[in-house]
Structure 1
Amino acid sequence: MGAVREAAVTSTYRVQLTPEFGFRELADLVGYLRELGVGHLYLSPILQSVRESQHGYDVIDHSRVRDEFGGQKGLLALAGQGLGIIVDIVPNHMTVPTPESENAPLWSVLREGPESPYANWFDLTWPVDLPVLGDDPELVVDGSVLRYHDHEFPLRAGTEGLPLHELLVEQHYRLVSWRDSPGYRRFFDVSSLIGLRAEDPAVFDATHEVVLSLVADGVIDGLRVDHPDGLADPRGYLRRLRERAPGPLWVEKILMDGERLPADWDCDGTTGYDALNMVTRLFVDPASRDKLVRTFTRHTGLPDDYEAVKYEGKKMVLDLFFRGEVDRLAACLGEPGLRDALVELLAAMPVYRAYVNPGETQDEEATRVIQSAAWEAAGHADPAAVARVAQLVLRGPAEAVTRFQQTCGPVMAKGVEDTALYRWFPLACLNEVGGEPDRFGVSAAEFHAFCTEMRATTMTTLSTHDTKRSEDVRARLAVLSEIPDVWAEAVESWAGAVRFDPKLDYLGWQTLMAAWPISPSRFTKYLLKAAREAKTSISWQNREQGYENGIREFAARAIEMCGYSVASFTAVVDRYARVNSLGQKVIQLMMPGVPDVYQGNEITDFSLVDPDNRRPVDFARRRELLKTGEDSWDGQKLLVTTTALKLRKRLAPDLPYLPIDTGEHAVAFARGDQAVAVATRLPYRLEHRGGWTHETLRLPPGSWLDLLTGAEHTGLIPMAHLLSRYPVAILERNTR
């Protein structure tokens, strides 16, 4: 295999592979990444997806490594570079491509129906509804294929010569309006992604054969499982997977505030959104909550109650996207008249899934979650009907229990992540996946309590391919929590010069400042996506040209008329955002867990939600910075990153997390008796109170070397001395 590879995963570096950036291009970066201190590469999905896909979650063929990346030969060459590999896998769904013939198993199912050897692959009902038809249903029969624009569908054998209306009736599928629900379980509301039945052992084996053979051959060291909540039986799936993939195994599980990963899941932990949200809150001043909410409501006219907005978002998507799923679920309950109560119970669920397993004595926590949701739902529907639905989804028919669990996640994702978080944004750095935007900040004590309960093996992160905004965008926004009055004045001035839609403008001003400098094109694309996700004026299904042109005009005018002022404001914010940026990086890289760095975020990155955060990375600049050691924000963040990653290679992963007492403007902790991390927090207020003055920090016994400055420290040390050069410190026990 070439170079010797490390056994333990000390850190990961997440790379978004694309047709333009495949295995060969990544192999050229291995030297840089090794010098950076990276332990393992962490790759986006590698199996064959739609040819032009920029993300790889739209798999069409599980039997081969993606050609556009260089195929299996290219992957083996990359592995031969000696840096271990973690791979993202997608067990929950495949894509319904255009043309549909590109997905061979699906093509077989559509042609042969229940007689297809792939009939058990997909979670569907016969005949399966395919939502593709627009306003001009001009269907063409071409031999054994039915064509509609770029779509193509196989004809059932023997039906080719029938009149069109008879031919359509005889197929194993029905073509319906693109606005209708499909006849299959899908990924969230995306009809082009069809649910797989990974609970079937034969389906599991066929869809995992290539990946697991690469694990067995030592090419891949570990796996990251996409969207486990979509599976019929996540626990059973993980047990089966672990039997053949004994290495590191993480799940992309979104944990809401205070929620814990199910104890019976055989995996190493989550991909880190829970850690991300805790780290972000650590740099937010909770004292600003009321002022920021007032500024938000004044500019938007929206309510100050986030829970009400969240409820409205869930109810909207249940009606807009999930009527088909709700109908099938209501039918599974086996009793009439329960649909309204079912909708309210789904809307009241506080988490993505409660993990009820059919036929088993129910977990106490799962029962508590569903019963508390039923209590909430009873305020919106017949209490007796709600109680009955709750009983049925806990102990009723197996299919009802399972489908309820599989439906909760999509409702949360679309109703909260992709609706409510685009409607309620007093401080947008809190509007992250799994975040609660009405929880303004945590104390150092709360953060320490969180860390002391963390697994040593779980993943931590600050940015991913799915975050709403990058870590440095959030670092800037967190500063606003320390200057709510100054911010209110600034945004009042900008809004007085350029206005468009009150429900969108305030998010626009936060974004313009936090992502500055940003081109009108990038700003426009973000606002268009934000407006479509919010669904208050337009949506992905209803794109009103006049409104969208208004967004384009707003974006251009905001930059043209207010750009100079925004730049000046951001320059002031950056004095403190740099402190937040470095602080959150030190904490994330040194706290318990396996730290992940998203591509490019070893220096500043001001990306927004996808696809903005999947743009090509300027690795030439990062390589040059690593050589020159430039003393800029970029250079300092790179220094912090490489120092911490290299230190983690020298530390045992399960070293105890030991809080160190500090004042409110710092957070510090030791990792066993080997390392200490210190970060400044709430830097604006620290500066305006006069700095550190006489505040001190007591280091654990022994002599400590500051790896960033080379200074040696021991005992009780003034904070002003410890943090005189950088607002953070990474200390290692001095054994000389």
Structure 2
Amino acid sequence: MTVPTPPAATYRLQLTPAFGFADAAGLVGYLTELGVSHIYLSPILQADPGSLHGYDVTDHSRIRAEFGGEAGLRALAAAGLPLIADIVPNHMTVPVPESGNRRLWEMLRDGPGSAAARWFDVDWEAGPVALPVLGEGTDVAAEVVADGDGLRYHDHRFPLRPGSSQLAEQHYRLVPWRQGPGYRRFFDVNSLIGLRVEDPEIFDATHEVILGLIADGVIDGLRVDHPDGLADPRGYLARLRERAPVWTVAEKILIDGERLPSGWACDGTTGYDALNMVTRLFVDPAGSQSLIDTFVKHTGVTQDYDVVVYEAKKQVLAQFFGVELDRLSRGEPSLREAMAELLAAMPVYRAYLVPGEEPPAESLRLIGSAAELAATRTDPDAVRRAAELVVGGPPETVVGFQQACGPVMAKGVEDTALYRWYPLSCLNEVGGEPDRFSVTAEEFHAFCLRMSPNTMTTLSTHDTKRSEDVRARLAVLSEIPGEWAEAVAEWSARVSFDPRLDYLAWQNLMAAWPISVERFGDYLFKAAREAKTSISWIAPDPAYEAGIRDFAARAIEECGPSVAAFTERVDRYARVNSLGQKLVQIMMPGVPDVYQGTETTDFSLVDPDNRRPVDFAYRRSLLADPAGDSWDAAKLHVTRTALAVRSRLAPGAPYVPLTTTGEHVIAFSRGGRAVAVATRHPAGLARRGGFGAETLALPSGRWTCRLTGERYTGRIPLAHLLGRYPVALLERD
């Protein structure tokens, strides 16, 4: 099969009811001038009407009305830039009222024998499907009432089984909201119900509109959300590629050193592996132990990250994944505990075992290693039985374990451990390992040399915990850990609340400065709930939550001037990191994506903060008149210039590491036609007095720096090459 042509570069837009297809079409001229080749859209199928993200699909047969419908999408496609679509094969939403999802409504009404029941991953063997919607102490008889042709419970509506009138006679049963549902869900989100796209009819029904748009040339490529949740990711991607032979990337989270599964019919990942490597490239390993010591001193948390991960995984398994454990263990208590320990010991999101196939050697190694660790924590015989079932047991057990691995990793690590262990929170990213502080230039080069030329790379997404420029500021702390410790000690002495939250608060207050009390408080509120040490999404505490808001206000009011002064010092070096990250990401192998607004500085925190509206008018004006030496102007100049150079390179242009005479630079060439150079660890460089006599030997020929217009050949003093900007991008004349 012909390999699809990848984009030169993409630009991610977050569509909302307030920013639809017409608004996106209005940006085509700007984005073309910026230098991207494709617009990369958030999900476009009909979702909950007020949804700000679109992953809660309600109807696969329609383009979302709030965005302008299919006519609006086609008009956008005709505006001049090809489109990449984000698709959601793993799940649909369980809306409120439930009648908003027609297929779900039909399944609840007509039961397991209905055509609609084939759509959803429901455990019918357990009886009527459990719907966790009831509040605490609900008197069902009093609060669930007849409502026309259905039943009503507050804002919820449910259908009546034909010929029935009583709640007890239905194909569903209403259970407390804390109880697990009778269906596979997305992570621990009860409002997202798993789809059975492994069924060819369901695949066709859920993809008909998207495939039609691809056939019509309206959509040029695809981003596949959460493939690890599917029963058969490899089979799904093969079917998709057969029907849609376009550039496709999968949202596959690769833990350090992990590779994309062989045999996947896609062109790469959505770029978290590249993001984490680029971040580490600009972190100084010399500050690691000092930062850990400061973190432990302020929080009282162990310095052993693995302990924190294990405790977090066990907590979420106990709180959220009881239904999944019951299914995997068939009701045997010892086997249930063994399955829990095996899931807690898994170091990746999935082992890719397929029922009926010979297990891959890497899959067996992963399960075997996890079983060895689990056997030290519970009955070894039970763990051995669990591992045997996971590898070669009934298909529902093999697949069920695979589908549980991702949610346990996501909820246990991404959404719990990363909010508990954060000596340097720029490392606490999706797929990141915060105890691995940095990479050498040689390690980064080795990573790039094995990259697929068609995979996506990114620095910021709608799901990142912090935007790239927040991380650029935080990376500076690895170079000035002593100054940071003194600053935090001063701020903490003036304002304190919860030691397990305060230290994270100070990092993010500094790195996102200036920030409003509302935004800062919202971030801390989410961080505390994710950490699950004092409150959680299922265990609120109004008094604690009021304390968070008070802390946010007092921290800004009482420590704001000092935080601002510290940030100003950090920014001398953060700007260097920011420009370096951007240049490296655009020029390294892969298809670079620019997340909306990040062509200039962006100091956003975790969603929904990173999905706020972007001031495109400001960016247009800066692009039209780029004069000035502001950080915004410099970042836009680097972004635009790098995208232009990148567009003139072949997608698979060879990556060649370049050797420098010092440790404060990363340099490489692409295809013998372009050379990228970026400064590393700028605070340390300043302390030693600059580059001195250090040089870079260019490949043969004459070269022009596209950022400055200067011409070079042979061996160049770094002090001269990087005198105006901390980065350089040279193109062969």
TM-score category (smaller protein): over 0.9
Which residue of 1 is the match for residue 129 of structure 2?
A: 128
2:150 match: 145
* Structure 2: distance between partners of 1:243 and 1:146: 43
Whether 2:558 is the aligned partner of 1:561: answer yes
How do 1:662-701 and structure 2 match up within 5 A? 662=660, 663-701=662-700
Judge conservation of contact 2:221–2:248 (CA < 8 Å) in 1.
yes
Compare 117-126 and 532-541 and name the one that shifted more: 117-126
- Residue matched to 2:197: 198
Q: What residue in structure 2 maps to residue 290 of structure 1? A: 289
How far residue 143 of structure 1 moved from its aligned partner, in angstroms, is 2.9
Q: Which amino acid aligns with 2:442?
A: A
Greater CA deviation, 203-212 or 139-148? 139-148
* SS of match in other structure, 2:318: helix
SS of the aligned residue for 2:528 comes to helix
Task: Tell me the SS of whatever aligns to 2:173.
Answer: strand
Match of 1:658 among 656, 659, 664: 656
For 2:259 and 2:676, locate their aligned partners in 1 and report how far apart those are by CA, in whole Å: 26
1:481-560 equivalence runs, <5 A: 481-560=478-557
1:424 corresponds to: 421
- The one-letter code matched in structure 2 to 1:34 is T
Amino acid at match of 1:69: F
CA apart distance, 1:62: 0.1
Give the aligned partner of residue 349 of structure 1. 346
SS of 2:656's equivalent in the other structure is: strand
Root-mean-square deviation over aligned CA pairs: 1.0
DSSP 3-state at the match of 1:94: strand
Deviations 1:493-536 (A, max 9, x none): 00000000000000000000000000000000000000000000
Task: Give the Cα separation in 2 of the matches to 1:714 and 1:294.
Answer: 47
- Secondary structure in 1 aligned to 2:370? helix
Report the counterpart of residue 164 of structure 1 in structure 2: none
Q: 1:61 aligns to what SS in structure 2?
A: strand
TM-aligned CA deviation for residue 274 of structure 1: 0.2
Cα deviation for residue 646 of structure 1 reads 1.2
* Residues 439, 7 of structure 1: alpha-carbon distance in 2 compared, 3 angstrom cutoff: closer
Q: Which residues of 2 match residues 430-445 of structure 1 at below 5 A? A: 430-445=427-442
Q: Distance in 2 between matches of 1:601 and 1:245?
A: 30
Task: Give the structure-1-normalised TM-score.
Answer: 0.97
The equivalent residue for 1:703 is: 702
2-structure distance, mates of 1:69, 1:336 = 50
**Residue-by-residue CA offset, 1:77-108 (whole Å, 9 max, x unaligned):** 00001201000000000000000001000000
Q: Is the 8 A contact 2:6 2:591 kept in 1?
A: no
Question: Residue type matched to 1:149 in 2?
Answer: H
- Map of 1:163 onto structure 2: none
| Pairs within 5 Å for 1:48-447 | 48-126=46-124, 127-135=128-136, 136-137=138-139, 138-160=143-165, 167-331=166-330, 337-447=334-444
- Cα distance in 1 for partners of 2:349, 2:40 equals 25
- Measured in 1, the distance between the counterparts of 2:6 and 2:170 equals 53
Q: Secondary structure at the match of 2:198?
A: coil
Q: 1:197 is matched by which residue type in structure 2? A: R
Q: Distance in 1 between the 2:292 and 2:341 partners?
A: 28
Match of 1:471 among 450, 453, 468: 468
- 1:115 CA drift (Å): 2.9
Q: Aligned partner of 1:374: which letter?
A: A
Aligned equivalents of 1:726 and 1:110: distance in 2? 62
Counterparts of 1:550-699 in structure 2 under 5 Å?
550-629=547-626, 630-662=628-660, 663-699=662-698
State the shift of 1:336 in Å: 6.9
- Matches of 1:674 and 1:471 in 2, distance apart? 28
Q: Deviations over 1:523-564 (max 9, x none)?
A: 000000000000000000111000000000000000000000
Equivalent residue for 2:37?
39
Shift of 1:337: 3.4
Q: Which residue type is aligned with residue 430 of structure 1?
A: L
Could you tell me how far 1:335 is from its partner in structure 2?
A: 6.8
2:222 and 2:249 in contact (8 A); partners too = yes
The percent identity for this pair of structures is: 69
Secondary structure, in 3 states, of the residue corresponding to 1:702?
strand
Q: Which amino acid aligns with 1:232?
A: A
Which letter does structure 2 place at the counterpart of 1:251?
A
Moved segments of 4+, more than 2 Å:
334-337
Selected match of 1:13 from 8, 11, 31: 11
Question: Partner letter of residue 78 of structure 2?
Answer: G
Superposed CA deviations along residues 8-43 of structure 1, whole A, max 9, x for unmatched, are: 510000000000000000100100000000110000
Offset at residue 391 of structure 1 (A)? 1.4
8 A contact 2:334–2:379 mirrored in 1: no
User: Shift of the alpha carbon at 1:7?
Assistant: 6.4
Q: Alignment partner of 1:530: what SS?
A: helix
Higher deviation after alignment, 581-590 or 116-125: 116-125
Structure 1 unpaired stretches of 5+: 1-5, 161-166
Separation in structure 1 between the aligned mates of residue 602 and residue 371 of structure 2, nearest angstrom: 43
Say which SS state the counterpart of residue 340 (structure 1) adopts: helix
Query: Deviations along 1:54-92, whole A, 9 cap, x unmatched?
Result: 000000000010000000000000000120100000000
Post-superposition shift, 1:116?
A: 1.9
